[in-house]
Amino acid sequence: MSLELSMGLVVGFTLLGIASGVPIGYIFGIGCLIFMVMIGDVDYITRLVPDSFKMLQGFAFLALPLYMMVGSLMLTTSLTSRLFDFLYIILGKARAAFGGALVSFVAVFGAITGSASATIGAIGPLVIPEGAKYGYHKEYTTGLVACASLVAMLIPPSLSMIVFGVAGHLSIPLLFLATAIPGLLSAIFFIGLNFFLTRRGGLTRVEQPPVTSDTKKELTSGGRREVWGKAGAAWPVLVLPAIILGGIYSGIFTPTEAAVVAVVWIMLYKLVASAVSAIIRKSISLFGTGLNDLARGFLEAAKPIGAIGTICFFMFALSRAFIFAGIPAMILRVLTTAIPTPGLFLLSVNVLLLLMGMIMDDMSCCILAGVILLPVANHFGINPFHFGAIVGVNTGLGNLTPPVAPNLYLAAGVGNVPVKLFPPNRYVKTVLYLLLFGQLIVLILTTYIPQVSLFLPNLWLGTR
pLDDT of residue 219: 40
pLDDT at position 382 over 90? yes
Mean residue pLDDT across the chain: 83
Interval 152-166: pLDDT, tens: 889 988 888 998 998
pLDDT of residue 216: 42
CA dist., res. 436 & res. 112, Å (int) = 27
Q: Is residue 456 part of a domain?
A: yes
Domain count, the chain: 1
pLDDT of residue 180: 93
Q: Is residue 11 part of a domain?
A: no
Q: Is residue 21 part of a domain?
A: no
Q: Is residue 287 part of a domain?
A: yes
pLDDT of residue 205: 60
pLDDT of residue 127: 82
Whole-number Cα distances in Å, 427 to 216, 231, 306, 420? 30, 33, 30, 8
pLDDT of residue 91: 64
Q: Is residue 48 part of a domain?
A: yes
Other CB atoms within a 10 A radius of the CB of residue 82 amount to 20
More confident site: 406 or 444: 444
pLDDT of residue 213: 40
pLDDT at position 383 over 60? yes
| Residue 192 binned pLDDT confidence (cut-offs 50, 70, 90) | very high
Mean pLDDT along residues 73-82: 83
pLDDT at position 195 over 60? yes
pLDDT of residue 196: 87
- The answer to whether residues 6 and 35 touch, using CB atoms and an 8 Å cutoff, is yes
- Amino acid (one-letter) located at 205: R
3-state secondary structure string across 371-416: HHHHHHHHHCCCCHHHHHHHHHHHHHHHCCCCCCCHHHHHHHHHHC
Residue 421 bridge partners (DSSP):
424
More confident site: 114 or 192: 192
pLDDT of residue 220: 41
pLDDT at position 146 over 70? yes
pLDDT of residue 222: 44
pLDDT at position 334 over 90? no
Q: Is residue 22 part of a domain?
A: no
| Residue 231 binned pLDDT confidence (cut-offs 50, 70, 90) | confident
More confident site: 39 or 41: 39
More confident site: 352 or 200: 352
Q: Is residue 14 part of a domain?
A: no
Domain interval for residue 421: 41-462
CA dist., res. 69 & res. 156, Å (int) = 16
- The answer to whether residues 126 and 82 touch, using CB atoms and an 8 Å cutoff, is no
Q: Is residue 4 part of a domain?
A: no
Whole-structure pTM value: 0.82
| Cβ partners under 8 Å of residue 415, min gap 6 | 124, 128, 138, 139, 141, 142, 145, 427
